[in-house]
Amino acid sequence: MPVTGLQQLLEGVLDRAPTSLALLGARESLTYRALADAAAAVAAGLHRQGVNPGDRVAWRLPNGEEALVLSLACYRIGAISVPVNQRFTPAEITALVELVTPRLVVLPAAEVLADTDCAAAAGDRLVPWPDLLGAEPLPAVNGLPEDHPALILFTSGSTGHPKAVVHSHRGCLAAIDSCRQALAFSERDVVLVGKPLSHAGGLQTQLLPSLQAGARVLLATRPSPETAVSLINRHGVTEYGLLASDLLDFVDYLEASGVSLPSLRLVIGSGDTVPIDLQHRFQALFGWPVLEGCGLTEVGSYYAIQPLHGTRHPGSIGRAAPGVELRILSSTGTEEVPVGSIGEVAIRTSSATLGYWRNPAATEGLFRDGWLLSGDLAQRDADGTFWYRGRRKLVIVRRGSNVHPTEVEEQLDAHPAVHAAVVVGVPHPRDGAVPVAWIQPNVVGEPVDGEVLGTWLAGRLAAYKRPITYLPIDALPRNGAGKFDRALLQQRAIKTLAVQ
């Protein structure tokens, strides 16, 4: 049995142009040949540490060469790569190690002593990065089935504890190839990866599709707008993907600085909805629209994305991504809803997860008749365009009527005094639950005028959808995935209203 497609991810570029640059670094760059050789050497280093096919290798590394090389090395020998989110708390790290029982936990050398969180959880499994270097390169392990586990990613845990999502060699490659097609990466591109590699958004939708296509890649960890602009202009970056929440700061900076970015051909915002007002501001700056898509850790990629060419519908998440089939199901999950109605997105694709690690009950509930139930709510137009309407678990049921937070947030974000808004549900003795809005004003410390915002919404939303109160906040908190932390904001809202 030959090696898997994922193990051969770089082979096409190695055949065509082995000396072309793969990674662009501040001190030195790395060719595709050097990258493949480094992965083979680190694979040998893992083997020397006793790692065998099926063993888990957890790692907490910044966006950089080491994280990429280690990922490729794991795939090479059939180990399961387990990225550890840099934002995880000590309790989350301990729970992760107890759940996946890694053979090794890899840290940068400088952090082995300083990172007491990982050290306490990992014990004698802790290995500094330099200990994996210096071995003779190891050939890829032959005979792995395509459904052999390759990668464990963790969900953002916005409504509970993060779950460990297992992806196979086949699934990883399908996700990577879907994004390569959707974003039209080629050897002419220079791609800035600012999303963390511990998430599908950084690893599977940006980094690896770029390398599969032979592009040059810059790795950063959620760079500030100023840093991103410097990197883009210095290296002629053509594509930049970032979280929707970070896109807001990026546009703010560009408007204030007046700097231009002539090399960019594509910017994609994901992880949350991109407000219409922000899309208009982006269009005014660049003369072309920001791309929007919707992904899922359980899919390892985008399941829907706006087309690069042809008609785009601002505010939509576009059409099914390459290699993906989508349906919109009723609340029972047994039948499709009519066109234009809101329902749950069901997904069928080769990139779908194998399931949740050591959680058969959750895995069983994730699938129905071969379709993955996403938990996302959306509606479909007659032309096949999808519109995201939020998470099923976040819907606020007010006296039997559904309030979708994203719909309310979109209207609030359009108000000139609002920098960003998050709407959460708070239990209510008569209504069941009511919407409450957290408002980050455009000017820090500026008071939030609930009466003004209520009047603004009155002509835009039905009365039952409008928040009962507007709470000011200087900066909206983020969760481990970099998204707005809705669970924390809901808890704070409940406490705040309890004392009023």
The domains of the chain are located at 11-144, 181-392, 395-498
- pLDDT score of 129: 95
- pLDDT score of 479: 81
User: To which residue do tokens 């005028």 refer?
Assistant: 449
- pLDDT score of 499: 67
Measure the CA–CA gap between 366 and 357, rounded to whole angstroms: 13
Fold match, 11-144 / 181-392: yes
- pLDDT score of 315: 87
- pLDDT score of 28: 78
What is this structure's pTM? Answer: 0.86
Class of domain 11-144: alpha beta
In the CATH scheme, what is the homologous superfamily, with its name and number, of domain 395-498?
Answer: ANL, C-terminal domain (3.30.300.30)
- pLDDT score of 143: 95
Q: Three-class SS of residue 244?
A: helix
- pLDDT score of 258: 95
Q: Report the topology of domain 181-392.
A: Rossmann fold (3.40.50)
Mean pLDDT of successive 10-residue stretches along the chain, which has 500 residues:
92 97 88 97 97 97 94 98 85 87 90 63 86 92 97 74 92 98 97 93 96 97 93 97 88 96 94 84 95 94 94 91 97 87 96 97 94 94 91 86 89 93 92 94 88 93 93 89 86 86
Measure the CA–CA gap between 274 and 291, rounded to whole angstroms: 9
Q: ∠83-89-93 over CA atoms, to 5°?
A: 45
Sheet holding 80-83: strands in order across?
126-128, 104-107, 56-59, 80-83, 149-154, 164-168, 355-356
